[in-house]
């Protein structure tokens, strides 16, 4: 009886306590759905790799996960069954017997975007070969992957991985008249690479950096690096509004090809983009499924060109795709759909493809987006397999309007 009385008094104390106290109590039990749960899953994945625990590794991947490997692999696209066989063989390889895998900066503030039970990130990991006798430990390679994770059955799992062969920065879309950037000679199309030595991966990160220093004294010097036509420009800003509007920006590396205009239109993935939008215009479930990879796919924010909060995977496609199409038919005037400015960064049988999309809603409002998809050539056909981290990007150089071009002169 005494124990029951103590428990009852504790409950009454918690209920009658100030909101701040209850909030502190809530924080004591972290929500497994937040980013800390994702970090725990990645630590478990790292430990499983290092223990050569196949079952532990597979527990970190969903049943309908699809994994795409760099172009040196004979089979770049692996569904869950092929992935399991690939892992089993890899863990038994002599080179992997002593190697360790390290996950780096997987859930940093600038590489993770979470929306409820779905999150996308830029997953950076490396293989380290430990020291042997007089040979010091070395990092074998560092690899980046676009990854989508989902919260299922009480824990986070990876449902999509695709090699990141492009760099991400923020690009100046507009220079505000009379602002700091204009006085410093910044132009639309300039790529922002560093803010006080920190690499800038996205426009969202740049906003966070600006807010971090806005309370500093007005004479504080903030050095920002830009890239323009192969040159690096260093400019000193002061705290406060920089006087620019920015967008996210993917650009290729020396190993890739960036295709714009008619060159992008001639790439086979452009035909897949056209087929996809024809199916979207016809609200055809079968047409959309035909342009998605047969081995699996994952779209964390609905169908490309039609962003929503719906996770679409091969496992739930029979319900999620019809649901999304009904929503689109209700909200859009499908006869007004327009696709333009297709851009492609290609890397062998892999590609990042982006385009500009516009449509009018049934209420007459104009809606615009700039989707990017991960595409693969599999079984002789180009198909969509997922979306990269921060999928609203400009692919390749920023396309300037006539007004912007005049600002460049």
Within-domain flag for 276 = yes
Check which CATH number belongs to the domain holding 216 and give it: 2.30.42.10
- My answer on whether 95 and 142 are in the same domain is yes
Backbone angles phi, psi at 53, to 5 degrees: -100, 95
Burial class (CB in 10 A: 0-12, 13-18, 19+), 154: exposed
pLDDT tens per residue, range 266-300: 999 999 999 999 999 999 999 999 999 999 999 99
Structure tokens at 22: 């209850």
Within-domain flag for 2 = no
- My answer on whether 236 and 301 are in the same domain is no
- My answer on whether 157 and 171 are in the same domain is no
pTM comes to 0.81
- My answer on whether 43 and 107 are in the same domain is yes
Whole-number percent of the chain with pLDDT over 70: 81
Query: For 337-348, what is the mean pLDDT?
Result: 93
In the chain, the number of structural domains is: 3
- My answer on whether 87 and 215 are in the same domain is no
Q: How much is the pLDDT for 122?
A: 85
pLDDT over 70 (residue 407): no
**Mean pLDDT lowest for which of 9-13, 78-82, 183-187, 259-263?**
9-13
By residue range, what is the domain housing residue 311? 256-395
- My answer on whether 151 and 178 are in the same domain is no
- My answer on whether 90 and 216 are in the same domain is no
Check which CATH number belongs to the domain holding 61 and give it: 3.10.450.50
Please state, in angstroms and rounded to a whole number, the distance separating the CA atoms of residues 405 and 317: 44
Query: What H or E segment, with its residue span, contains residue 97?
Result: helix 94-97
Please identify, among 130, 164, 198, the residue that sits at the C-terminal boundary of a domain. 164
pLDDT over 90 (residue 55): yes
Query: For 335-357, what is the mean pLDDT?
Result: 93
Within-domain flag for 72 = yes
Within-domain flag for 235 = yes
Query: For 213-235, what is the mean pLDDT?
Result: 91
Could you tell me which residues come within 8 angstroms of residue 196 by beta carbon, excluding any fewer than 6 positions away?
209, 222, 223, 224
Please identify, among 251, 278, 311, the residue that sits at the C-terminal boundary of a domain. 251
Within-domain flag for 404 = no
Q: How much is the pLDDT for 31?
A: 61
- My answer on whether 326 and 276 are in the same domain is yes
Please identify, among 251, 266, 301, the residue that sits at the C-terminal boundary of a domain. 251
**Mean pLDDT lowest for which of 116-130, 191-205, 367-381, 391-405?**
391-405
- My answer on whether 293 and 177 are in the same domain is no
Within-domain flag for 402 = no
- My answer on whether 216 and 94 are in the same domain is no
pLDDT over 80 (residue 136): no
Residue 339 bridge partners (DSSP): 357
Hey, is 332 helix, strand or coil?
Answer: strand
pLDDT over 60 (residue 4): no
pLDDT over 60 (residue 165): yes
Which of 169, 161, 163, 37 lies closest to 110, judged by CA? Answer: 169
CB 224 within 8 A of CB 192: yes
Q: How much is the pLDDT for 7?
A: 39
Within-domain flag for 100 = yes
Hey, is 229 helix, strand or coil?
Answer: coil
**Mean pLDDT lowest for which of 75-79, 226-230, 308-312, 342-346?**
75-79
pLDDT category at 409 given cuts 50, 70, 90 is very low
- My answer on whether 204 and 125 are in the same domain is no
Backbone angles phi, psi at 88, to 5 degrees: -60, -45
Within-domain flag for 138 = yes
- My answer on whether 68 and 119 are in the same domain is yes
Q: How much is the pLDDT for 316?
A: 94
Query: For 300-327, what is the mean pLDDT?
Result: 92
pLDDT over 90 (residue 72): no
pLDDT over 90 (residue 182): yes
pLDDT over 90 (residue 357): yes
């Amino acid at each position: 009886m005494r124990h029951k009385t103590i428990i009852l008094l504790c409950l009454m104390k918690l209920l009658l306590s100030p909101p701040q106290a209850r909030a502190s109590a809530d924080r004591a039990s972290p929500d497994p759905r937040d980013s800390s749960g994702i970090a725990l899953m990645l630590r478990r994945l790292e430990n499983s790799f290092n223990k050569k625990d196949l079952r532990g590794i597979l527990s970190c991947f969903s049943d309908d996960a699809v994994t795409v490997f760099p172009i040196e692999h004979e089979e770049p696209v692996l569904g869950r069954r092929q992935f399991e066989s690939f892992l089993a063989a890899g863990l038994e390889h002599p080179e992997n017997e002593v190697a360790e895998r390290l996950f780096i900066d997987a859930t940093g503030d600038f590489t993770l975007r979470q929306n409820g039970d779905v999150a996308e990130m830029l997953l950076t990991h490396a293989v380290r070969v430990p020291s042997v006798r007089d040979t010091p430990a070395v990092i074998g390679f560092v690899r980046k992957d676009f990854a989508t994770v989902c919260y299922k059955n009480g824990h986070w799992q990876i449902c999509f991985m695709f090699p990141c062969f492009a760099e991400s920065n923020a690009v100046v879309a507009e220079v505000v008249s009379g602002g700091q950037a204009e006085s410093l000679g910044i132009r639309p199309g300039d790529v922002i690479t560093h803010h006080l030595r920190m690499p800038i991966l996205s426009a969202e990160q740049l906003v966070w950096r600006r807010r971090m220093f806005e309370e500093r004294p007005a004479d504080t010097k903030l050095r920002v690096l830009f890239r323009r036509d192969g040159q690096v420009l260093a400019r000193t800003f002061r705290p406060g509004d920089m006087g620019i509007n920015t967008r996210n920006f993917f650009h290729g590396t020396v190993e890739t090809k960036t295709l714009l205009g008619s060159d992008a239109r001639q790439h086979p993935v452009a035909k897949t983009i056209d087929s996809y939008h024809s199916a979207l215009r016809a609200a055809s479930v079968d047409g959309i499924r035909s342009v998605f990879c047969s081995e699996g796919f994952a779209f964390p924010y609905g169908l490309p060109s039609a962003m929503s909060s719906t996770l679409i995977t091969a496992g739930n496609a029979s319900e999620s795709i019809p649901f999304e199409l009904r929503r689109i038919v209700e909200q859009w005037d499908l006869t007004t759909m327009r696709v333009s400015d297709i851009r492609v960064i290609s890397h062998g049988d892999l590609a990042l493809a982006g385009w500009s999309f516009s449509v009018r809603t049934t209420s007459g409002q104009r809606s615009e987006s700039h989707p990017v998809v991960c595409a693969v050539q599999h079984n002789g056909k180009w198909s969509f397999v997922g979306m990269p981290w921060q999928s609203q990007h400009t692919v390749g150089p920023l396309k300037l309007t006539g007004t912007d071009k005049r600002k460049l002169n």
